[in-house]
Amino acid sequence: MKNKSVILIPALDPPEIFLHYTKELIEAGFEHILIVDDGSSSKTMFEELTEFPQVTVLTHEQNYGKGRALRTGLSYYKEHFSQEEYCGVITADSDGQHLVEDVLKISRSLEKRGEKMILGVRDFDQKNVPPKSRVGNKLTSLGFKALMGLSVSDTQTGLRGIPNSLIDLCLSIPGDRFQYETAVLIETGKKAGFEEVRIHTVYYDENKGTHFNPVKDSLQIFNLLLGTFFRYIFISLSSFVVDILFFTLGTKLLFHGMAAKIPAATAFARVISGTYNYTANKKVVFKSDRSVVSSGVSYLLLCVCQAAVSAALVTGICHFLPLDEVPVKTMVDLCLFVVNYKIQKNFIFSKRGSV
């Protein structure tokens, strides 16, 4: 059976089993296998692999990292394969952990020509899973859900099916080492979502052959996850400061003595802080591709509703309790913070076609 997927395998000093693994892929019907030698110390195995007509070996003279190797392969695919004939790329690891039968599962899903990133997901509750892999995956999965709103069962899987519609996006994502794969999950997840395919959980020799550094690479991965979160926090806090400053200016100076000074000051402050917050969130935090008209109208409606709720709560509280309106507004808006984030992320600045 002829497969319409191209296999891409980044390799750095692969084990002896890799040669046999490549032969199995060929026997399974894969006619195009791209192998990226990412600066391996020995070239003997790669010289043997080039003897197979189905194999193309791309070489990095030095080790750049798995992310760079994947982009090298994806770039070659884009330049040399027709997207009319081929449905996309399947990435696999060189350590033999991805069984050929599981690669075929990904291929069948990819050949349906859907838009989603296809992930081969493992069961990390099995006894043969090394503790560092089990803990690492559960932590990153929790981080994806809490910070990105993305549900991913296996954040560390290297067995992925990348449809043609996501090739350009994957090529545009920076990062040379393992954090690249995390960035790909974030960006493709936000754009198209995932299709998960259950695969076997295989580890050889407690996964000692991995080039993943549990400290250095994990820090880079969490920096990606927390970076977006902290950008949102910073923009929100700076918007909050701007809002409070102009609200204070309104109540203490511009609208002082007016019966409706709180609603007037709230509206005045929200116009200024809202403009800043909208621009920063669209361009810096959520990097939304929605038009200014579409997202702007929705954002304006949110601001009006939130300002009305904030003004009503502050007015009501200050009416019944002898409290200064500034600290009361501070507490009210902090409570509205989470609701505001969810609405912006899931509706106003969501990717086109995701709502």
Same domain, 159 and 66: yes
Cα three-residue angle 29-31-36, rounded to 5 degrees? 120
The residue ranking higher by pLDDT, 138 or 291, is 291
Residue positions counted in the chain: 355
What is the mean predicted confidence (pLDDT) over 70-74? 98
Q: Find out whether 68 and 60 touch, Cβ atoms under 8 Å.
A: yes
Last residue of some domain: 186, 214, 242? Answer: 214
Q: Domain range spanning residue 305?
A: 228-348
Number of domains, the chain: 2
Please tell me the predicted confidence (pLDDT) of residue 217.
53
Shared domain check, 241 and 340: yes
Give the C-alpha distances (Å, rounded to integers) separating 292 from 103, 107, 187, 234. 42, 39, 21, 22
Residue ending a domain, choose from 214, 246, 281: 214
Of the two residues 144 and 13, the one the predictor is more confident about is 13
Residues 181 and 208 in one domain: yes
For residue 149, give the CATH number of its domain. Answer: 3.90.550.10
Predicted confidence band of residue 205 (pLDDT cuts 50, 70, 90): low
Distances (CA, A) of 257 to 253, 264, 265: 9, 11, 12
Lowest mean pLDDT among 54-58, 126-130, 213-217, 281-285: 213-217
